[in-house]
Structure 1
Amino acid sequence: MGKAVGFIIVSVAFFVSQINCQEAILHISNESSSINKEYCLVYNQSWTPLSQTLDAALQYPLVNMTSTTLCNTSGISPEVVKGKALVVMRGDCDFSQKAQVAHSLGATTLLIASNTLLITPSANDSEYAKTHIPLALMRYRDYLDAQQVFAGGMQVKLYAPLHSKIDASIAVMLLIAIVTVALGGFWSGACERDRLNGDVAGGGGGGGGGGGESKADSGELFLYSPLKVVIFVAMMCGMLVLMYFFYNVLVYIIIAIFCLASASALFGCLDAVMEKIGCATGRFSIRNHNFSVRSLILASLCIGIAVVWGVYRNEDRWIWILQDLLGIAFCLNFMKTISLSNFKICVILLSLLLVYDVFFVFITPFFTKNGVSIMVQVALGPDASGEKTQGNMVQVPAEPQAPTEKLPVVMRVPRFSALAQNLCGMQFSILGYGDIIVPGLLVAYCSRFDVWINSSKKIYFVSCCTAYLLGMIVTFAVMLLSGMGQPALLYLVPFTLITSAVVAGCRREMKQFWAGTTYEVLDSSREPLLPEGRTDSSVEGDIC
């Protein structure tokens, strides 16, 4: 059951493109008082660029024309609007027509009040050159609020602060990714060492990986057959497509599964830490049933965290902390539980998932009706329809709405540079669980191989972790330079696979690394962990 739960979560847990929002600020003041207030705007930077600072923005008096949609000049006197900013209602004609009418009347700025979803205003390429005044959308309810605050007339400025592309949230995301991968790999190697040491003490036989076609008693599951790997990836593709077509139903099933799986994973992680530091269990009996006080306390804590996340999962301000905590535990447990038996399986699995990631991010937009990739649509939910492949669209609700459900398959860290001016909604840096788990499985294999050859310097594990860190840095660098979200596996898979292969080649251990078998090391400076005479059959050891 646990393996099926993990499969369902990982099936949709891959990288999501980030939204390159084009949001601006409407600064309103009143000449008769020192009161000022700011509201959210949505604009098109390539169409009508705005000043980047408040001081550089020009100030104009605002004329209320919300009684019209301004599709023509009928009934409007140019003297009333000349040299002023206009606010009109959305509808009846396109944005470019409203802007041309406002410009012909002598207006300096056009604000379009909307009762529906705010979207980045756009037009045909031929219409862009005809618009010579700033144009932006605002919420109609914001304008009504401004009327109450500034009853004696309004002066407005429009500006779009330039947010640094290099946000501190990227560093936090990078830290989460590398620490999770390193801990998961180290945990997998430690379990392998405990299992082999326990087996040696028990006099058992068997090698550590190449022929492992059975589950260890610890609950670890080995992927050893190329055919099974292909079937595994094919099932992931099928699950993603099902989520695309039946999102509104399956999303609640995934959320329920995530709560159960992440609570169990968090319990496993915390229990392992308590065991490592020697925390007493404190047992008691009720009707001949033994209970551990430590386990009961940890179980209550983990279930409570999962329940709190489930109840408040749509609260953006702080719930991301719990989602990331549960996500880290889920990734760690998955990396410790699922073991790739040899480097050949690593190459097959990671290569297939690389193709899977690139196809569903870059290729599927050509087949979907709204031009959004299936990966983005599934991971961001139905609201992702406003994001095009160039990442230059944004949507902002005009009215308070019930939050749409999103799959818990990403790490989320708020963009710290945007927190101070969070008028349109919180912005997040996002990384899919799959970009941690998939390379993490290779890191875990390298960690176990270090155990099999008794490498005191953990050369394979350290090298693969370093390659993962460099791959993540390259991923973020390309994302920042291109302004588009990237399928991280496109960079992580080559970095980790090539680095691992180069290390094995330089150490002349490629044959053993490829097959995954334990063996005698001829170099006396690196004595093998296993004694002579051990075979390459799978090991059944003590529970880790």
Structure 2
Amino acid sequence: MIQRRSFSCLLYVLGMLLLYSASLVCGGDIVHHDDSIPQRPGCNNNFVLVKVPTRVDGKEKEEFVGVGARFGPTLESKEKHATLIKLALADPPHCCTTPKSKLTGEVILVHRGNCSFTTKTKVAEAAGASAILIINNSTDLFKMVCEKGENVLDINIPVVMLPIDAGRSLEETVQSNSIVTLQLYSPKRPAVDVAEVFLWLMAVGTILCASYWSAWTAREEAIEQDKLLKDGSDELLQVSTTSSRGVVEITVISAILFVVVASCFLIMLYKLMSFWFIEVLVVLFCIGGVEGLQTCLVALLSCFRWFRRIGESYAKVPLLGAVSYLTLAVCPLCIVSAVIWAVYRQYPFAWIGQDILGISLIITVLQIVRVPNLKVGVVLLSCGFMYDIFWVFVSKWWFRESVMIVVARGDKSGEDGIPMLLKIPRMFDPWGGYSIIGFGDIILPGLLVTFALRYDWLANKRLKSGYFLWTMSAYGLGLLITYIALNLMDGHGQPALLYIVPFILGTLTVLGHKRGDLKTLWTTGEPERPCPHVRLQHQS
């Protein structure tokens, strides 16, 4: 149980602000769109990521990642079938005119600019190159297409674009008189990665646990109030009703303000993104994670009789007041866990600690924050729906890039991304990376799912006749469709709420109208209970 309102409010503020900074499911490497030119024969390749392992003077060195062009032949999918080829520098560097020296099957490294991609490729092919690597003018990858008005192309050498840092590294190595050889191949990704399945189970399981905890708490409160009503203890009932127990109820105004404040917070993240700013977010995440982890552990241990006795004994702590001995015993473990994660967060295994802290934070926020009725839930999820669409898609018109995706990736920060994400490494993907989901895509829908289960328990509804089963299924289906869209959209980031919100709101609204409960769900959010404490105690 939440015993300290100050910490509850702190966690509430942290959770509701930070969740908006990462409210999407994100895919693999993101490349710029340049699909306005229609495909035609000779220029209809799919855009694929290309691995470029290198060797310097016969020794294996760094492996780079590029992107293939619309034109040219397709690459091998396996490294063992890819030929090891020597790298040469273009002279002139932009390769818009015939190179000064004849090539004998080398891969030629050229700079972007001064002429079209197809022109560079034709010049390189005519000079005897076996492939062409084009260095982009930024750290991003760019989709190379054919120019308007170009005739049917007949290009027979592979074309790959590299980010500027990779290109400069190769250029400097060749200029130092070292012999650089490399391979070009494009491994195929599996249609479905196991990481996405586990991430789906993790998100659904988190909401499931939080829902039952929230419903159990609400039922206990209802039983206590009904007993006081039966005994006629009006004064005690008033005290019990006014005691908050650390629960925060969202209002329509606060739901709208969340989006406004969150948008400002997201812009601040976008503009001030740096290593030190990420460090601040890490500290905030650790504070929320410590509070969430200790709350969950205390609640879990309190289920056992021996730990329950310790939890019912309190000690006075300066500034905090009365704190149970169980909380004092658990807190050091939680703090150490958060510190260990913060120190080793860039290691490959750090995702485990991040997910544990993140799930604990999400469950605790869903326990603290409540949607009082369907009206508030509709406003909150509708605002989140528009927020996701705007900052993932519409923001490109003003900022020339998706603000949400840039923030989630942690560009210009030196980190793999912001910590307010659940992530699992892709297990059978030759490209590696992580499947991720933002806190917002769990917490926002989770608020309505937990509301549905609280209503079911207070109304003594069975599983099939209630709303929780269908709302929970709607969330799972919406998230599943998000992952399907993610794969169909070539790995580009997708706003999960775009798919989840219509399923959840549509399911709950249609069922409520069909069963005649819509008015109650919309206004009070709780069924009328004259004195049903006996039935509540036996609710299964």
Shorter-normalised TM range: 0.7 to 0.9
Residue 219, structure 1, aligned to residue 246, structure 2: yes
Distance 1:285 1:75 in 2: 81
Of 26, 31, 40, the match for 2:64: 40
Q: Measured at CA, do residues 255 and 198 of structure 1 come closer, stay the same or move farther in structure 2, by a change above 3 Å?
A: same
What is aligned with 1:462? 469
Secondary structure of the 1:413 match is strand
Of residues 476, 480, 490 in structure 1, which corresponds to 2:498? 490
Rounded Cα–Cα distance in structure 1 between residues aligned with 2:246 and 2:15: 13
> Which of the residues 60, 77, 84 maps onto 1:53?
77
**Conserved in 2, the CA contact under 8 Å of 1:169 and 1:413?**
yes
Shift of 1:124: 6.0
Corresponding residue of 1:302: 334
What displacement does 1:77 show? 3.5
Query: In the superposition, relative to structure 1, how do residues 417 and 296 fare at CA in structure 2: closer, same or farther (>3 Å)?
Result: same
Q: Does 1:268 align with 2:289?
A: no
Whether 1:508 aligns to 2:512 is no
Q: Deviations over 1:191-223 (max 9, x none)?
A: 1011122233444889xxxxxxx8753100112
Where does 1:234-383 land on structure 2 (aligned, <5 Å)? Answer: 234-248=260-274, 251-280=278-307, 282=310, 294-315=326-347, 317-368=348-399, 371-383=400-412
Unmatched tracts of structure 1, length 5 or more: 207-213, 384-401, 522-526, 533-544
After superposition, the Cα gap between the structure-2 partners of 1:12 and 1:279, relative to the gap in structure 1 and judged at 3 Å, is farther
The one of 480, 486, 491 aligned to 2:487 = 480
Aligned twin of 2:427: 416
| Amino acid in structure 1 at the alignment position of 2:363 | L
Q: How does 1:136-155 map to 2 (within 5 A)?
A: 136=160, 137=162, 141=169
Pairing 1:432-447 to 2, within 5 Å after superposition = 432-447=438-453
Q: Secondary structure at the match of 1:430?
A: strand
Corresponding residue number in structure 1 for 2:33: none
**TM-fit CA distance, 1:71:** 3.2
Could you tell me which amino acid in structure 2 is paired with residue 380 of structure 1?
R
Specify the alignment match of 1:88 in structure 2: 109
Whole-angstrom CA distance in 1 between matches of 2:55 and 2:342:
42
Q: Determine which of 186, 193, 196 is the counterpart of 2:219.
A: 193
**1:191 and 1:145 mapped to 2: Cα distance?**
64
Residue 471 of structure 1, CA deviation: 1.1
Aligned to 1:430: 436
Q: Name 1:104's counterpart in structure 2.
A: 126
Pairs aligned (count):
487
One-letter amino acid matched to 1:529 = P
Aligned-residue identity in percent: 25
1:511-530 aligned at under 5 Å gives the runs 511-520=519-528, 529-530=532-533
What is the root-mean-square deviation in Å for CA atoms of aligned residues? 4.0
What residue is the counterpart of 2:43 in the other structure?
Answer: none
Whether contact under 8 Å (1:95, 1:121) holds in the other structure is: no
Distance in 1 (CA, whole Å) between partners of 2:62 and 2:406 is 32
Deviation at 1:479, TM superposition (A): 2.0
Structure 1 contact 26–39 (Cα < 8 Å) conserved: yes
Shift of 1:74: 7.0
Counterpart residue type for residue 180 of structure 1? T
Shift of 1:333: 1.0
- Judged with a 3 Å threshold, the aligned counterparts in structure 2 of structure 1 residues 285 and 244 are, in CA distance, closer, same or farther, namely closer
**d(CA) in 2 for partners of 1:519 and 1:170?**
38
**1:431-459 CA distances to partner (integer Å, 9 max, x unpaired)?**
11111011100011111111221224372
Q: CA deviation at 1:92?
A: 7.8
* Alignment CA distance shift 1:302-1:129 (3 Å): farther
Decide whether the 8 Å contact of 2:396 with 2:403 is kept in 1: yes
Which amino acid is 1:493 matched to?
A: V
Residues 259-318 of structure 1, C-alpha deviations (whole Å, 9 max, x = no match): 111210111111111112335265697999987553233211211122222223333x12
Match of 1:18 in 2: 27
Distance 2:383 2:296 in 1: 29
CA contact (8 A) 2:108 2:129 kept: no
SS at match of 1:403: coil
- Say whether 1:9 aligns with 2:18: yes
Change (3 A) 1:464 1:297: same
Whether the aligned pair in 1 keeps the contact of 2:82 and 2:185 (CA below 8 Å) is no
Kindly indicate whether the alpha-carbon contact (under 8 Å) linking 2:509 and 2:518 is maintained by their aligned counterparts in 1. yes
Q: Which TM-score applies when normalising by structure 2?
A: 0.77
Where does residue 211 of structure 1 map in the other structure?
none
Asked whether the 8 Å contact 1:193–1:451 carries over to 2, the reply is: yes
Change (3 A) 1:373 1:36: closer
Tell me if structure 2 keeps the 8 A contact 1:115–1:140.
no
Q: Secondary structure at the match of 1:450?
A: helix
* Aligned CA distance change for structure 1 residues 294 and 86 (closer, same or farther; 3 Å): same
Residue pair 1:59, 1:155 contacting (<8 A) in 2 also: no
Choose 480-489 or 511-520, whichever is displaced more.
511-520
Once the two structures are TM-superposed, the CA of residue 88 in structure 1 deviates from its matched residue by: 3.5
Deviation per residue, 1:26-71 (Å, 9 max, x gap):
46789x99x9888334132424453243379563642544887363
Does the 8 Å contact 2:91/2:99 carry over to 1?
Answer: no
Moved more, 459-468 or 497-506: 497-506
